[in-house]
Structure 1
Amino acid sequence: MEDGEQLDVTVTKFLDPAKGADEFNQPQSGKKWVAAQFQLVNTGSKAYSDSPANDARAADTDGQHFDAWFGEIAAGPAMTSDLNLPAGDKALGWIVFEVPSSSKIVTVQYGLNSGFAEQTGQWKVS
């Protein structure tokens, strides 16, 4: 991250499974959606720009890792895909993952700057 960039990231909720928002937003056959609600708070002195979906990963009990999936869920609004967060502001939204129906997700990760920063947070979920 650049000087002045600082972001506090929290997983506020986790859904397994996550219900699609309507009949058009549904997982593929043999899959389910899980979702993490992230809160991002810019605690730095300059704006933070990124695509939060590029930053998030989920992992299951078998060690499989899953990238974010674009889908709208009934629980609430998705995290913006084009974040430009001024200093002092916050963003709240869901990031969806499409996983095999049999997968049991145990952790969610968030790596800043599309995963290229040294800072990565990990949360245990149930």
Structure 2
Amino acid sequence: MLELWASMRCPNSKFVAVEYPLNIGKIRFSINFLRLIWRTIFVVIITVLAMAMPFFNEMLSLLGAIAFWPVAVYFPVEMYIAQKKIRKRTFRWFGLQILSSFCFLVSLAAACGAIQGLSKGLHASKPFQFKQ
């Protein structure tokens, strides 16, 4: 998003818009200085954030648990039902609804586990401290 915003805001800037070709032996690629600097800064910020919060994995698992069911199960199942025009209360419709419900329960259990891990992490850790 930042790269798109910068290219729209400063379309004539060499720093933002120009791709510089590089050849290393038979490998050819191009580099953009905004992209290189922005992505490096982003990785550094995320790394510092992960170091500051030892329970960063629990945060990622919570986000994954929240996103899993709607993105990977519910919407695809509903689109499949609509695309194939599967009637309600048929054997196939019930099977898909049971699959979706089971995956929702798994996602809910994963979210509960992530919240419990976050709770433990908040109470037991100190920022920037390495476990030995």
Q: What is the TM-score of this pair, normalised by structure 1? A: 0.22
Query: Which of 1 and 2 has higher RCO (CA within 8 Å, sep 6+)?
Result: 1
Please state which structure has a larger fraction of its residues in helix: 2
Please state which structure has a larger fraction of its residues in strand: 1
Q: What is the TM-score of this pair, normalised by structure 2? A: 0.22
